[in-house]
Structure 1
Amino acid sequence: MTDLSVLIDTREITITPLFRYESIEDINASERAGHLVKKMRQVVEVRFAGSKNYSPVFPVDAMWKRENGKEITFAERWADQYRAFLDGSNQEAAGTPLEMLKNYGISDANLSLCRALRIYSIEALFHLESDALKSLGMAGNALKEMARSYMAARDRGNANVDEVERLKAELAALKASMIVPAKEASPAQIDAAIEASDTEFQAMDDDALKDWIAGKTGAGRPRGNPSHETLVSMARELSNA
């Protein structure tokens, strides 16, 4: 099977830059004019997958690191994205669109949750760990398993030529979903997205919950006649395990 993904460096796949203009006070000009004077500067907003509140902003010409005695700026760190910004093009996140997980069970609520939490690709979801993964709430482990299953299937290379061409076309159509949104979700919007994702268990009927629990544990369906709330509680605990 032809590799359907663009080769990317996954060491930074959970970090997404967004270059933009920011209005700041020109202190010297303000002092000379005797009133507030502002100027525009180019900055990069650095978004971390799974982070609710941390998105630091740096001037594009600020030093990211020093290597072999040479200063490397944030513009140089993400040169392709910076060029897209200068050209006025859309800035796209690296990786494979999350919509490719539709066949693995990802819901619209979970897609919204991932984007609210700055998770823009399957690879970023796959590499989430610790607190970043926990930020997804009850859906976290299930979503990571979807990403793992997708990556494993892709690596096995078990699709035929027709399937490869179909998937290539699907990926091309989904690239628009990889555009990094200019405005991030607010804390309240993130909490609402988490709640919407969690309520999917509430919407499932008892038989669907029992099947889900059986599939998760491998120990068969729950015995007896547990209430709907008990089944929801069991599903939540398994999802968080």
Structure 2
Amino acid sequence: MALSVPIDTRDITVTPIFKHITVENVPASEREGHPVMEVLEVVEVRFAGSKLYSPVFPANAFWKRDGHRTITYAERWADQYREFLSGNDQKAAGTPLEMLKPYGISDAQLSLCRALRIYSIEALHHLEGPNLKSLQMNANPLKEMARRYMSDRSSGSQSADKIAELMAEVAALKSQIPAKEPTLAEVEQAIQAAEDEYEAMSDDQLKEAIAAKVGSKPRGNPSRATLLSSIRELSAA
């Protein structure tokens, strides 16, 4: 299948971002009597679904030992580090989330995923536990979209025409990693925006959405508040 991206599933929900930072060399500052600044190569490690935790390590710092050899973070993510040294855009491994458009992902849900550092379908597919719950009521719908995509890709059920169409649509995207990390307030805003999408639906659209989840439309003539409550409960279930 086209767009199938071989990646190490151990790192599928981890995205490294190499960059330069300027820090003060305190011993040198004390010795010289004025601030002495140094530019360091570091890697910021982003975890899919994590709102706050994003540690930063020197690129040449110890990651693990392989026999007698020390492996650095730069060696751990060698491809990403080479892109950084070449001055190229750093891209997340995996398939762009935009490939979920035919499966129903909305623009607000795309923004939500990026705000929560989920940059690929594979990362979304492997998300579990508290990091999955960070998507709140969008967790189950997004997880199901990723599952269906992965299933279709494995079975080769997507037509060649559809694949070509989607490849053209996402050619310029390539799982772009936002350069600037969102603040916690911006993350909460993205979560709220994704959940507020139901507010923009008409009553008939809400009934159709409920029917898609339970197999039939609500009986009688329920109020809008009841419809909104039902679809949110079903989405969060």
**TM tier relative to shorter chain:** over 0.9
In structure 1, list runs of 5 or more residues that go unmatched.
none
Aligned mates of 2:18, 2:173 — CA distance in 1: 22
- How many angstroms does 1:88 deviate by? 0.6
> Alignment partner of 2:173: what SS?
helix
Equivalent residue, structure 2, for 1:13 = 12
Q: Deviations over 1:66-125 (max 9, x none)?
A: 222322111110000001111111111000111111111111111111101001011111
- How many angstroms does 1:209 deviate by? 1.2
- How many angstroms does 1:171 deviate by? 4.2
Equivalent residue, structure 2, for 1:25 = 24
Residues 159 and 142 of structure 1: is their aligned pair in 2 closer, same or farther, counting only changes over 3 Å?
A: closer
- How many angstroms does 1:179 deviate by? 2.5
Q: Select 1:209's aligned residue among 198, 206, 209.
A: 206
- How many angstroms does 1:173 deviate by? 3.5
Q: Structure 2 counterpart of 1:180, which letter?
A: I
2:229 is aligned with 1:233: yes
Q: Structure 2 counterpart of 1:105, which letter?
A: G
Aligned pair count?
237
2:183 is aligned with 1:182: no
Q: Structure 1 counterpart of 2:207, which letter?
A: K
Aligned mates of 1:215, 1:163 — CA distance in 2: 23
Residues 192 and 73 of structure 1: is their aligned pair in 2 closer, same or farther, counting only changes over 3 Å?
A: same
Aligned mates of 2:62, 2:227 — CA distance in 1: 53
Q: Structure 2 counterpart of 1:53, which letter?
A: L
Aligned mates of 1:6, 1:188 — CA distance in 2: 33
Q: How does 1:84-233 map to 2 (within 5 A)?
A: 84-175=83-174, 178-218=175-215, 220-233=216-229
Indicate conservation of the 8 Å contact 1:20/1:43, yes or no.
yes
Indicate conservation of the 8 Å contact 1:50/1:133, yes or no.
yes
- How many angstroms does 1:237 deviate by? 1.0
Q: Deviations over 1:36-91 (max 9, x none)?
A: 21111110000000000000000111111122232211111000000111111111
> Alignment partner of 1:45: what SS?
strand
- How many angstroms does 1:164 deviate by? 4.3
Q: What value does the CA root-mean-square deviation take over the aligned residues?
A: 1.5
> Alignment partner of 1:199: what SS?
helix
Q: Structure 1 counterpart of 2:212, which letter?
A: G
